[in-house]
Structure 1
Amino acid sequence: MPVNRINATLSDEQRRQALAALASLNDALPFLIDLSADERNSMAKFGDKNRSFVVKALAIAENHPEILPRSLDLDELRADVELVESLYPLRNAVEALLGRIDNTYFAAGSEAYVSALLVYQYAKTHNVATGALEESLDDLGRRFSRRNRKSGEAQ
């Protein structure tokens, strides 16, 4: 029998509250942007190691503005670093929550799938004797049909 790691329900009210909280978070951060995959790939990579680097570089720039070219906008650098530092704890909290949502979704889905496979096996066994589940089994069986690579037809 399947291992039961999660035993919960999500009521309509809980789902509405969660979606409202996410909408509120989205509304609280109206400056958030979307990047295409191409845009993201064309940008300099940024991660935790680079976060510390930009904070230290800002300190140098603020303490020695005379070394900077006129084309470097120190106020824009400061604003970007402040935004990164402000978003950092939010990003970590959202990542942690998303990780828990993903893990719960995966566990519940895995448990449901393992149980569904058992139902499918029992239904096939029952159908051999009665033939009563032929149509339902055909529908479920489509999940396992393979396509011929050359013709694209089911094998």
Structure 2
Amino acid sequence: MSADVSSLSQINRDEILQLLTLLRDKLPPLRDLTAEERRSLSGMGDKNRSFAGKVLEVILQDPEFLPRSFDVNQYQRDLATFDDLSTIALALTRLLDLVNATATAIGSEVYDDALSAYRYAKASGQGASLEAMMTEMKQRFAQQGKKKDKEAEKSKVKE
């Protein structure tokens, strides 16, 4: 995994962030909803989407039953926008899942390497220059208790 990390240069990272800004600018105005607002809204799952499509078919066949205040064109635009945003959301979710999984795997590798390096530094006991850093790093494990620290140390030393 670590060989892949170097492929994300600072330039690529900056370009990706710029592209995300561009994507946001290309989308229709996005809304941020509170948890309470989300709960109060009707859901638009697969069944409700199908229902909304069937209603559109009925409306287009005979719009005379609707009151004049009902904007059929706006309804069509909203339904199309919902479909477009759903497609985009699915693609973004898949990408985000991959980014999160990769970050988790790399983070785990980095943390495991950090633990190994910490144990080597602790075992080497080389000079006073390491003591201040070792004291600071030990605080990371202070709340885990001695038993957990010993168990982790035993399992990692065996490697």
What TM-score, normalized by structure 2, do the two folds share? 0.72
- Alignment length, in residue pairs? 143
C-alpha displacement of 1:68: 4.4
Counterparts of 1:114 and 1:94, CA distance in 2: 30
Structure 1 residue aligned with 2:142, among 136, 141, 145?
A: 145
Tell which has more relative contact order, 1 or 2 (C-alpha 8 A, sep 6+). 2
Partner of 1:44, secondary structure, is coil
Counterparts of 1:48 and 1:6, CA distance in 2: 41
Structure 2 residue aligned with 1:31, among 2, 5, 29?
A: 29
What TM-score, normalized by structure 1, do the two folds share? 0.74
Partner of 1:7, secondary structure, is helix
Q: CA RMSD in A?
A: 2.7
C-alpha displacement of 1:102: 1.0
Unaligned runs of 5+ in 2: 145-159
C-alpha displacement of 1:67: 4.6
- Written as runs of structure 1 = structure 2, the 5 A alignment for 1:68-83 is 68=66, 72-83=70-81
Match of 1:92 in 2: 90
Q: Residue 132 and residue 16 in structure 1: after superposition, are their counterparts in 2 closer, same or farther (change >3 A)?
A: closer
In terms of fraction of residues, the more helix-rich structure is 2
